[in-house]
A = this chain, B = another copy of it.
Amino acid sequence: MIKVGIVGGTGYTGVELMRLLARHPGVRMEVITSRSEAGKPVAELFPNLRSIVDLDFTAPALDSYRDCDLVFFATPNTTAMSQAEELLASGIRVIDLAADFRIKHIPTWEHWYGATHACPALVEDAVYGLPELNRAAIRNARLVANPGCYPTAVILALLPLLKNGLIDAKSIIADCKSGASGAGRKASVDTAFCEVTESVRAYAVAGHRHLPEIREVLRTVDADAELVFTPHLMPMLRGIHATVYADASAPGDQVQALYENHYRDEPFVDVMPAGSHPETRSVRGANLCRIAVHYLEAVNKFVVLSVEDNLVKGAAGQAIQNMNLMFGLEETSGLEALGMTP
């Protein structure tokens, strides 16, 4: 039994982690911390966990995690970077679901996150937790930076094209649509039901924090990679749909087979048949990225469609996938649930 702690269990990635871990056969949750809710039963805040998760929130303190093998940070950005070092020093491994360790280039991180990084040395050690790219390194990692929700969908959509040199790496446009849970659980007018439902809007067209993350990862594959990234807010709970465009630099007629081969052995990437249009609901609640690739001969472009549940393959599910790898468990353990349709 792996003993885990969760720092900051009051957000949507926190409750999703708990929902999944509660049924993981190889894990026991030891401690869930929250500064604001300390003393309250977890199941009072999240009635879906009633009678299954019996823990109370406790105030965060290093000592809280002393019995843990692993600590997940489901906190706002800049929390994990100030606590990870001590945990690692105590032999506790760490998965950060926030952005503190995702970007290797510190000045870039500091520019986009508006803060001084508290432990740049650890950033070097951290492994970017996308198993489809870094599986071997994750197995040996002490510290994993769990990828952002948009980056997961966009990078998985592009890897086969980019690794095989089929596109002009400077021509990428990623037009992304996300459900509202991506914005987190918080008191804010902008995320109120009446502000979000029955409407669609783009945001951060001039620049979003996931842009440098995607770019840096893509450049580990092709140093020329550059992209436009436009996130849009959709009136739904869960789901990201990435529509990714790129100019073909080689004939596109074999692209379907290329994708199928590339992801043949991946348990959590599903390449759909040629001509398909994946729906976000087909992966609701599932740890899965579903992809369809189209080649438009008339304009010589590829259009790749990829969908995921932003809280699962885009956050908590991927974190558990990383945990499974780090601790030598079956990679799919605890992640077998199918997408819930309808």
Contact = CB atoms under 8 A, between A and B. Distances in A.
Contacts of A296: 205-206, 228
A22 interface: yes
Copies in the complex: 4
A281 interface: yes
Contacts of A294: 205-206
Nearest to A189: B187
Contacts of A339: 19, 47-48
A210 interface: no
A241 B198 contact: no
A292 to B, nearest CB: 8
A50 to B, nearest CB: 6
A299 B305 CA distance: 22
A18 B237 CA distance: 24
A185 interface: yes
A47 B290 contact: yes
B238 A303 contact: no
A239 interface: yes
Interface in A177-197: 177, 179-181, 185-189, 191-197
A275 interface: yes
SS class, residues of chain A in contact with chain B: loop
A278 interface: yes
A194 B237 contact: yes
Interface string A16-29: 00010011000000
A56 to B, nearest CB: 15
Contacts of A185: 189, 192, 194-195, 342
A64 to B, nearest CB: 24
Contact of A279 (B47, B228, B245, B282): B47
Given A188-B192, A232-B241, A198 B284 contact: yes
Contacts of A226: 298-299
Interface residues of A, number: 82
B235 A272 contact: no
Interface in A154-197: 173, 175, 177, 179-181, 185-189, 191-197
Contact of A270 (B51, B197, B281, B337): B51
Given A186-B189, A243-B230, A243-B232, A237 B202 contact: no
Contacts of A48: 281-284, 286, 338-341
Contact of A285 (B15, B197, B285): B285
Nearest to A294: B205
A233 to B, nearest CB: 9
Pick from A189, A192, A228 the residue with the most CB of B within 10 Å.
A192
B46 A341 contact: yes
A23 B232 contact: no
Contacts of A177: 177, 200, 232, 234
A75 interface: no
A236 interface: yes
A189 to B, nearest CB: 5
12 contacts: A51-B270, A173-B245, A177-B177, A177-B200, A185-B189, A193-B197, A198-B238, A199-B280, A200-B236, A202-B305, A206-B275, A232-B241
Top 3 A-B pairs ranked by shortest CB distance? A48-B339, A199-B281, A193-B196
